Structure 1
């Protein structure tokens, strides 16, 4: 934050504090649901979950501390949780839920989007998973539309698109940690460890 103040003349502490405050508040909502035995509706869950996945905070930190030159416009984009950040975070959350919800529920976590939809609509898990996949497709359309017509800085749009892409890649086969199928480990090994053959 000091470097941003020195280099750009902008104090970003309030933006970082707000991102962390929003994340902590979303965790508290989930804790209340869990300890109260409450299963949220899908809409209630998604209103909170797009923040609890950490996307807005991650993009805020990336933009403020790692990104290209910071402007007042980019700060305002972060503060208002722009459409690209919202849709990207929603894709991240829904992809996470598809890849890890079974393991997280068995560990005693709060109901995820799949369970929220199943409980309120009275459908099977397969039907709920199909619905969540449909929401991901819808969210991608909205993210692409927002990216094309957005007045937000290109850096915010690029970070939002990349976060959604990365989430879908990571959660396609679990999360690589708690629900590993070995695919993520193989991908990381191929990317970081294995030498690239030069012929």
Structure 2
């Protein structure tokens, strides 16, 4: 496949033929960029008129406009032509919807709401299978093969979920803390399945789900459960890995600390194939858990002492409390070991780790700021932006969406650059999926989001597809 794509890239780069329509050019551009080929956006210059605007003759080409919109999702910073392309495609697709056949209008609306590059592949795969399995004219053998593959991977995930659920019950955390925490083990596990669905990463998926559970629980511990004085001691204990420090603390904190230590020492560290790699992972993980708890503690101090930070101070700290920097760093070490890649020291947080965490946090703040307030915790980028700049919530939400767009442009660039030397391909896919998860979880209203997440759980982990 790489050879074929390379051949297309070299021909496409010259772009010296006249037999390419908008759909073909945009589709090739998207596929090549998705696979790490640095295609210039200048290939779209041919679709502009003498005044430098996209030709209005394209305004009724629904297929071409959808492909152009999809291609523009892979823009890098400073690629103004792709931003123009996205705006052009969006406005004309929206204008076309009332005049299209119902099935095509539905497709257009889906593309505008869920462009392929920012949608989790396994979610999109299930959606396409459902469409093609419902009487669409397409090669039946291909559909049956896709169903077989989906059901096979789902059965692997179901077996893993059973193991993860036994671990979660064994921690005793849910029994001890009850309604004070978000007890959502199926959701936590599904997030690992969506970010890393490939069957060969089974053990990695289970261990990452454990990390997810602990991040959620410790987040709740700092938000609504612990007294500030106890949280200081807990943070110091995690930072120093001293089990005696937590003994005077409430039992819920002791249980969290024990579960954390067991996952780090008996799970994640031993996924490494080489002893030295295990030492490196354990050393790095200890520092990351300490940093995470310090960031949680900082948020607790801001809120309980009513010492409001600036919006940017909050976002820098909250990107850490998203848990994704820890999650992605663990995944990098594990995947590098499992795929026998060269493990690059991570003295600083690379863009491929920091940017998905920032995107996830910003989607979280967009979608759950009101929910968190109901639980007794009201910090969000939106909240602090409104206070700092004395603007409306609507203005703050628009700024948040702009930040998400900027972060995606940088992430697109980082993922292409990282593919050359630094990171294994599986990790690049994983990082992009982590950025996509934020929108899946938090881009809906409170009631709609809950229904949608339950639907995804049912389709991803419970409901088998029947031919």
> The TM-score by the shorter chain falls in which range?
0.7 to 0.9
Matched, 1:7 2:268: no
* Structure with larger Rg: 2
Any stretches of 5+ residues in structure 1 without a counterpart? none
Deviation at 1:153, TM superposition (A): 0.7
Give 1:120-139 correspondences, 5 Å limit: 120-139=388-407
Aligned residues: 192
Whole-Å separation in 2 of the counterparts to 1:115 and 1:49: 13
1:55 to 324, 331, 354: 324
State the alpha-carbon separation in 2 of the partners of residues 172 and 148 from structure 1: 26
Change (3 A) 1:153 1:174: farther
Q: Deviations over 1:131-154 (max 9, x none)?
A: 101110111001111111234313
Distance in 2, matches of 1:128 and 1:52, equals: 21
Alpha-carbon contact 2:370-2:378 (below 8 Å) kept:
no
The aligned runs of 1:13-32 (5 Å cut-off) are 13-32=282-301
**Alignment map for 1:94-173 (pairs within 5 Å):** 94-150=362-418, 151-154=421-424, 155-173=426-444
Q: CA 1:70–1:28 in structure 2 vs 1: closer, same or farther (change >3 Å)?
A: farther
1:34 and 1:159 mapped to 2: Cα distance? 33
1:81-92 map, 5 Å: 81-92=349-360
Contact 1:33 1:110 in 2 (8 A): no
Give the superposition deviation at 1:158: 2.5
Root-mean-square deviation (CA), in Å? 2.1
Q: Is the 8 A contact 2:311 2:384 kept in 1?
A: yes
CA deviation map 1:62-83 (0-9, x unaligned): 233455335331xx23x41101
Shift of 1:169: 1.3
Q: CA deviation at 1:18?
A: 1.3
Deviates more, 1:49-58 or 1:79-88: 79-88
For the residue of structure 1 that corresponds to 2:274, the secondary structure is: helix
Please give the TM-score of this superposition, normalised by the length of structure 2: 0.39
Q: Deviations over 1:122-177 (max 9, x none)?
A: 1111111111011101110011111112343134432221100112112122689x
Q: How has the CA–CA distance of structure 1 residues 180 and 169 changed in structure 2, closer, same or farther, with 3 Å as cutoff?
A: closer
> TM-score if structure 1 supplies the norm length?
0.87
